[in-house]
Amino acid sequence: MSVSTCQMKERYNQQGFLSAVPVLDDTELREARQAFNHLEREFGEEYTQYSLHNVHLQYPWVMGLSILGSDVILLDSRFICKYPTTPTPHPTATQAGNDAITLTSEEEVRSSDKDQQSETGLPFVAWHQDMSWGPVLSVWLALDDSLAENGALKVIPGSHCSGMLPHQLASRPGNMLSVNQEIPEELVQTDSALLCPLLAGQMSIHDGFLVHASDPNTSQKRRCGFVLRYVPTCAYPIQVRSTVDMSLPVSTLYR
């Protein structure tokens, strides 16, 4: 039985997320995969794992992945891949993406830790929230099947209603988040965590305050997703004082 838009909106407001929403048909998925695979061959897996940030500004095929309507603003985008093995450096990786416009966001992975992951731990995403300011909506579009064994998204339903929670530096090695942040374990109701598996071509949507995470990829299959963040059209940027820690997310105000 199909779910109406009103039912989806009500569920989103109550739970803070939607999952397994169909987006790409077979042809669109095949074309997107082929285009991403070309980037892998061009730049290498080490780069495409975490450094394809705001590439919708560079590649028309990424911009063509129309996902949401015209009443929202795309804040930023990023491809995030968890590979089954430690990626091999590519000689042209450091030359790519120099002209991209970047915004600091919570999901942004830390390049400084990538060379340590093969020794200290597999890449994972700690429990966290996406943004500290205002209403942000995050989309996770699966280019590959995203399942338990290759590190699918997991969420705490309803946690978006608690507002912004304290974050600290994570002690577990391999955390992919921008400033190695995590919500303290005692503040996360892990017993109510829900896995959000996606088939390739499906997307999940979650509120910026929803507590979420993902485990390492322990399978032999790649897990590639396209992450986008949207804000309402009433949002506008403000000048941030130089004394503010620039590792924090970009501040956005709302009328």
Per-residue pLDDT tens digits for 74-127? 888 889 999 986 544 444 444 444 333 233 333 333 333 333 343 357 899 999
pLDDT at 255: 39
pLDDT at 95: 44
Mean pLDDT value of segment 37-49:
88
- How many other CB atoms are found less than 10 A from the CB of residue 74? 16
When mean pLDDT is compared across 93-102, 135-144, 194-203, 241-250, the lowest value belongs to 93-102
Burial class (CB in 10 A: 0-12, 13-18, 19+), 233: exposed
> Tokens standing for 111?
């390049």
CA distance 34 to 38: 6
Q: What are phi and psi of 11, to 5 degrees?
A: -65, -40
Pick the closest to residue 179 from 124, 246, 93 (CA basis). Answer: 246
pLDDT at 156: 98
Q: Which CATH architecture has domain 5-254?
A: Sandwich (2.60)
pLDDT at 240: 52
- How many other CB atoms are found less than 10 A from the CB of residue 21? 15
Render pLDDT for 211-236 as a digit per residue (tens, 0 to 9).
Answer: 999 999 999 999 999 999 888 877 76
The rounded mean pLDDT for the chain is 79
pLDDT at 2: 67
Mean pLDDT value of segment 32-53:
87
| Residue 152 near residue 223, CB atoms below 8 Å | yes
Domains of the chain, residue spans: 5-254
Mean pLDDT value of segment 155-163:
95
pLDDT at 88: 44
pLDDT at 238: 64
Residue 254 predicted with pLDDT over 90: no
Q: What one-letter code names the amino acid at 31?
A: E
Global confidence as pTM = 0.75
